[in-house]
A and B are shown apart, each in its own frame.
Chain A
């Protein structure tokens, strides 16, 4: 199996789907001539031409709306946002048009569209460009929110997202584009709404997604040295949420820590904790704790930024609390 970067796995998915289905087209800022701000669309303009790889002005609301309209009349647009921070300008099209059209047309008009782009913080991009909005979009009935953590998942999930008949918020990790991993060649799809056990374990379940999967895996490694075996569950899809996988794991480990990059209030973890306490209360041997980004606009200052971000040490601390193995 070839080893690809996350970026190239996405590129492969785009290329394969555009080859497979002539209705698929890519539109966004700098996706064509510049080959993408993060080079995800490298080579696509050359291969598919300017009708299917469309450079847009800096008008997020406008091209998101064009995409929704195109989807409503039967095309399969992929709208690239340079980052999800910029998509805030387009949110009306996502929430009020894409998410609701199937419902408001009585099922007559679906919106098979993928909105994609990098999400989350990178390094010192400061308050306006270091944000994780998955909980916000996952809050909207009608939107599916997909967040791959590995190159293989990126390929398999993007291909499925493009084929899905409903609008998909596809959030890539800005810090994940260079991550390498084995990626199956050719036709490879992953079902949307299915979590993945990235590491089996016995004593605690770490629920995570996207960039925090690597953090959870690192924490699990640290914990292993102390005899604590952590199971790492990568949600892969925030909505629909694979609660069955979470419940099964918590039923085995009886302890859980939910890790996410975003802010704590009403975050993805809040929903996960709610599901767990409601459905598998009697399996819990302790409270379910969350590790989240700090509840502040992301500081620009390097040390403050580090302090505000999730890291493996914070995950380890939370695990020690729920396993009653805290050192203090």
Chain B
């Protein structure tokens, strides 16, 4: 007699769980109590354990699939036993990672000649947002009482929250936001422009709570001070010779060029910060396109240096000069100032010590770069003058958690303090 393994409600408010990883393979012998899989609930990653012994005959969902509570995810039985169970209807596989050109490409693409009888091209649809099902009355009362419906277990059909589910819920009795997990690894397959990652339950809750707290882009700031002595020396050395290339006479490399290069390299190591908030999912970019804020007469514009991480300092320098010049002449095309994945804003030339920059949505981060100035610092045990620069990163907390941003900033600082790494 085969036993169905159900997605269990592993937390009081769980409506669905994402099967993170199977711990048993099909064909494995399992006994009651064995961990079959890891399941991410709205609060944490928990174990889904076997309720019966036997052989794991069939896994009905693949890792990464989100499954409503009480749907069958696997079958345990005797070897060779026939299993007639359908794949859970409510299971939502993780959104496929569409390989698409950066967004701006679409904006400049000439309208294609209409192909007669061609099916309308459908854009890769983001995973539909997981809306909370609640009766109108439940929604009204929840609003009045300040109850977060995301944290209420619905007892109606398809988990619909009805008024009786709210009767126990009281104002303010919402679960505290879980501590942000440190920078989750964002694995990227080669060749992908980006990967769309469905929002995990915890990500959804964080996003919702933060937006309620401080506004549509819940921003926090991280500041660090970078020792720029080596960059200073490196820049002098790089600019000393002057150099001719295919592009002609090289301009002098600016500190900003070096910062941009370092940011791009650091983003390559921290894809979690190279991302777009997309309301119902997060788009982690595999490509690094750094936007640089340029002051122009009537405001500012952020031209994009494409594939920044793949370019040499010299290329970045040439390109940033060209973009900045044309920005001031208002001769940029829209694709040149959109589609960035992270921004850099530099007010160092205005003698600003440090500042906070405003995030350029949907990007999740921007780095504000202050001036380089000599300061008395303790270096190798002695109080000495050193050239220092303060950088402040603004992070969209829905995408980037404190530890994630801090790790990125640490890498960036290390790179700037050891600039040889940039030309490596």
Q: Which residue numbers of A lie inside 8 Å of B, CB to CB?
A: 254, 281-286, 324
Contact = CB atoms under 8 A, between A and B. Distances in A.
A284 B141 CA distance: 11
A324 B156 contact: yes
Given A285-B136, A324-B164, 20 more contacts: A254-B137, A282-B136, A282-B137, A282-B139, A282-B140, A283-B136, A283-B137, A283-B140, A284-B136, A284-B137, A285-B135, A285-B137, A285-B163, A286-B135, A286-B156, A286-B160, A286-B162, A324-B156, A324-B157, A324-B162
Interface string B252-295: 00000000000000000000000000000000000000000000
A69 to B, nearest CB: 51
Nearest to B138: A285
Q: What 5 A-B pairs have minimum CB-CB distances, sorted nearest first?
A: A285-B137, A285-B135, A282-B140, A285-B163, A282-B136
Nearest to A321: B157
A283 B137 CA distance: 5
Q: How large is the interface on B (under 10, 10 to 19, 20 to 34, 35 or more residues)?
A: 10 to 19
A281 B135 CA distance: 9
Contacts of A324: 155-157, 162, 164
A52 B137 CA distance: 56
B349 to A, nearest CB: 56
Contacts of B140: 282-283
26 contacts: A254-B137, A281-B136, A282-B136, A282-B137, A282-B139, A283-B136, A283-B137, A283-B140, A284-B135, A284-B136, A284-B137, A285-B135, A285-B136, A285-B137, A285-B138, A285-B162, A285-B163, A286-B135, A286-B156, A286-B160, A286-B162, A324-B155, A324-B156, A324-B157, A324-B162, A324-B164
B344 to A, nearest CB: 48
B278 to A, nearest CB: 30
Contacts of A282: 136-137, 139-140
B163 A254 contact: yes
Nearest to A250: B137
Interface string B116-138: 00000000000000000001111
A326 to B, nearest CB: 9
Contacts of A283: 136-137, 140
Nearest to B143: A282
B251 to A, nearest CB: 64
A316 B155 CA distance: 20
A283 B157 CA distance: 18
Main secondary structure of the interface of B (DSSP, over half): helix
A254 B139 CA distance: 13
Contacts of B135: 284-286
A285 B162 CA distance: 6
Interface in B148-205: 155-157, 160, 162-164
A283 B144 CA distance: 13
Contacts of B155: 324
Contacts of B162: 285-286, 324
Interface string B30-66: 0000000000000000000000000000000000000
A245 to B, nearest CB: 19
Nearest to B164: A324
A286 to B, nearest CB: 6
Contacts of A254: 137, 163
Nearest to B135: A285
A282 B157 CA distance: 19
A256 B139 CA distance: 18
Contacts of A281: 136
Contacts of A285: 135-138, 162-163
A324 B138 CA distance: 14
A251 B410 CA distance: 58
A185 B348 CA distance: 97
A283 B138 CA distance: 9
A89 B233 CA distance: 104
A321 to B, nearest CB: 8
Contacts of B137: 254, 282-285
Contacts of B157: 324
B191 to A, nearest CB: 47
B324 to A, nearest CB: 54
Contacts of A286: 135, 156, 160, 162
A30 B371 CA distance: 106
A286 B134 CA distance: 9
Interface in B330-351: none
A279 to B, nearest CB: 12
Nearest to B134: A285
A282 B164 CA distance: 15
A72 B163 CA distance: 55
Contacts of B138: 285
B307 to A, nearest CB: 51
B280 to A, nearest CB: 25
A284 B163 CA distance: 9
B156 to A, nearest CB: 5
Nearest to B139: A282
Instruction: Specify which of B135, B138, B164 lies most central, judged by the most chain A CB atoms within 10 Å of its CB.
Output: B135
A68 B210 CA distance: 70
B162 to A, nearest CB: 5
A286 B155 CA distance: 12
Nearest to B165: A324
A202 to B, nearest CB: 13
Instruction: Specify which of B137, B160, B162, B164 lies most central, judged by the most chain A CB atoms within 10 Å of its CB.
Output: B137
Instruction: Specify which of A254, A281, A284, A285 lies most central, judged by the most chain B CB atoms within 10 Å of its CB.
Output: A285
B142 to A, nearest CB: 11
A281 B137 CA distance: 8
Contacts of B164: 324
A80 B383 CA distance: 112
A149 B163 CA distance: 33
A281 B139 CA distance: 11
Contacts of B139: 282
Contacts of B156: 286, 324
A284 B156 CA distance: 13
A254 B160 CA distance: 15
A229 B92 CA distance: 40
A37 B138 CA distance: 53
B153 to A, nearest CB: 13
A285 B137 CA distance: 5
A10 B193 CA distance: 80
B199 to A, nearest CB: 28
B397 to A, nearest CB: 32
Nearest to A283: B137
Instruction: Specify which of B138, B139, B160, B162 lies most central, judged by the most chain A CB atoms within 10 Å of its CB.
Output: B162
A85 B163 CA distance: 44
A282 B163 CA distance: 12
A285 B161 CA distance: 9
A282 B134 CA distance: 11
